[in-house]
Amino acid sequence: MTCSIPVLVITNRKGGAGKTTTSVNLAAEFVNAGERVLLVDLDSQGHCAVGLGVKIAAGQATVHDIFNAPSFRLVDAICKTEIDNLSLLPANQNFQHHNSGNDEKCLARALSDETITSQFDLIIIDTPPSLDNLLLNALSAAHWVLVPYIPHPLSFEGVRQLVRVLFKVISKDNTKLKILGFLPVMTASNVRQHRQVTEQVTKQFGALRVLNGIRMDIKLAEAFAVGKPVRFYAPKSRGAEDFAELTSTLIQLIKK
């Protein structure tokens, strides 16, 4: 079962690869383009709430509740953010990954509920840096997967391993899943190594897409720290420019 509205998963099994920065800023850009967006934070670090300046109270309902109580309705965990048309399904910071069970379709079922699909046009899922049932749930629920990566030689092997998992999920669990692209982040085009890794990724996944990257920009980190997407914090920055351009590319690809 896949959701009747597009679901985009942002993943890379490495921590610090730009997943949450990409999730929060893409969510804000898609809202700016007129979409009603639900951002789902599957990473129990709970950083999406931080990046959006949303306070989560102890004991508040979270997306992780579906793994403990199958009858839990996700709609009851949705929080509004300061941005109109952008809502958050927050993470439970006390969630233990070994409690995510064996059912990899739990999230797909919960997101397909009409109480959710009728309120939104797009769902973006931020994922933990792990290869476990939480990630399988995200991939099983999705139509699209976007892989941010830092163009560093060490990250190449990680991307390769992830792609193996993606192809397995596509052939076995979710034939609707497509790879939207690989997104180099924190790039500096004048660094030779960055170019080499991106060339390697392009060569390896030639048929797939390496997107225009997100340049290194301290404004992205600062915006995150004050709980705002970069388009509100520093609208003229490189980071804001790159995320706006990325979003127009992705809108074309998703609509094709």
- Interacting residues toward ligand ADP by CB under 6 A: 15-21, 47, 185-186, 214, 216-218, 220-221, 224, 239
Cβ of residue 158: shortest distance to ligand ADP, in angstroms?
A: 11
Q: Is 38 helix (H, G, I), strand (E, B) or coil?
A: strand
Cβ of residue 227: shortest distance to ligand ADP, in angstroms?
A: 12
**Closest-CB residue for Mg ion?**
20
CA distance 74 to 125: 14
Give the residue, chosen from 20, 32, 81, 85, that forms a contact with Mg ion under the rule CB under 5 A. Answer: 20
Helices (H), the chain: 19-32, 47-51, 65-68, 106-111, 114-117, 133-141, 153-172, 192-204, 218-225, 230-233, 238-255
Q: Which is nearer to ligand ADP, 35 or 41 (CB)?
A: 41
- Angstrom CA distances, 104 to 4, 108, 194, 256, stand at 18, 8, 35, 28
Cβ of residue 19: shortest distance to Mg ion, in angstroms?
A: 5
Q: Which is nearer to ligand ADP, 13 or 143 (CB)?
A: 13
- For the chain, the C-alpha Rg in angstroms (whole number) is 17
Q: Which is nearer to Mg ion, 20 or 112 (CB)?
A: 20
Q: Which is nearer to ligand ADP, 51 or 72 (CB)?
A: 51
Cβ of residue 219: shortest distance to ligand ADP, in angstroms?
A: 8
CA distance 17 to 147: 9
Binding site for Mg ion (CB under 5 A): 19-20, 47
